[in-house]
Amino acid sequence: MYCTLNLYLFAYIGNTSTRCKAPGLPCLPARCTKVRFAAYLTSEIKGGGIPRIKELIPHHPRDPDSFKVLSEIYRICHDRILTLVLPRLHIRMAAISLKWMRGEPLPEIIDENHRRNGGNLSSNIRGTLNDIEQEIRFKFLRLTSCYIAVLAHVLESSGHLEYLSSLSPLPTFLEMGASDQTMISFINLGVSRMTARMLTELLMDKEMGPTAALEWLKRQDIQTIASSPIVRADIERALANAIVA
């Protein structure tokens, strides 16, 4: 079950008609052969032991070492899955990805990119939106899905079963733009990412599931917790849909 690889991955990183047939190994595109990537990770673990395993396993975006680890994962994805030479792109995309996964508001991410890049504001807005929608939520989501599937297989086959539970749902974090379970639950209830972030900041419990988040929301005075009419409308719409469901 740890080795399932979503078929939509192939639409981005290879030809769906030429997949490997190695038993127990996640199917990879022809350009990433049935043994090469798994052999690379196996070699890395064999040579580096437990410290290397910890470097290869995605950390939670709020972990102090998350930037270092995510940069390395992106570098490996570029080098070993796509066989691309893209110096420093993995560092830049890791930095933006972490801001996105930590739930930082999109305007703040755009503003920081504009300060770093300089130049035309409109171009930086378009560039940041492309980074998030086309790169992070599409390409890197699929790359990390592949990475985690193969890493899980290698950990299992090499006898390191105790680390399987440490594999974070990184692709989900990339897709949702959130990594606190409470914020993800609010997004799944139908509110916007901005509203979900605002609601999450009101709570000490960052691990609420959808049911607990909905029950909490039902108990709140919407006029009190949301000063913005846009946010209030967002919450009321989500509540109405949840009641109907």
What pLDDT does residue 34 have? 53
What pLDDT does residue 209 have? 95
What pLDDT does residue 17 have? 33
User: Which 3-state string (H, E, C) describes the chain?
Assistant: CCCCCCCCHHHHHCCCCCCCCCCCCCCCCCCCCCCHHHHHHHHHHHHHHHHHHHHHCCCCCCCCCHHHHHHHHHHHHHHHHCCCCCCCHHHHHHHHHHHHHCCCCHHHHHHHHHHHHCCCHHHHHHHHHHHHHHHHHHHHHHHHHHHHHHHHHHHHHCCCHHHHHHCCCHHHHHHHCCCCHHHHHHHHHCCCHHHHHHHHHCCCCCCCCHHHHHHHHHHCCHHHHCCCHHHHHHHHHHHHHHHHC
Task: List, for the chain, all residue ranges whose pLDDT scores fall below the cut of 50.
Answer: 1-27, 30-32, 244-245
What pLDDT does residue 183 have? 97
What pLDDT does residue 155 have? 96
What pLDDT does residue 33 have? 53
What pLDDT does residue 29 have? 52
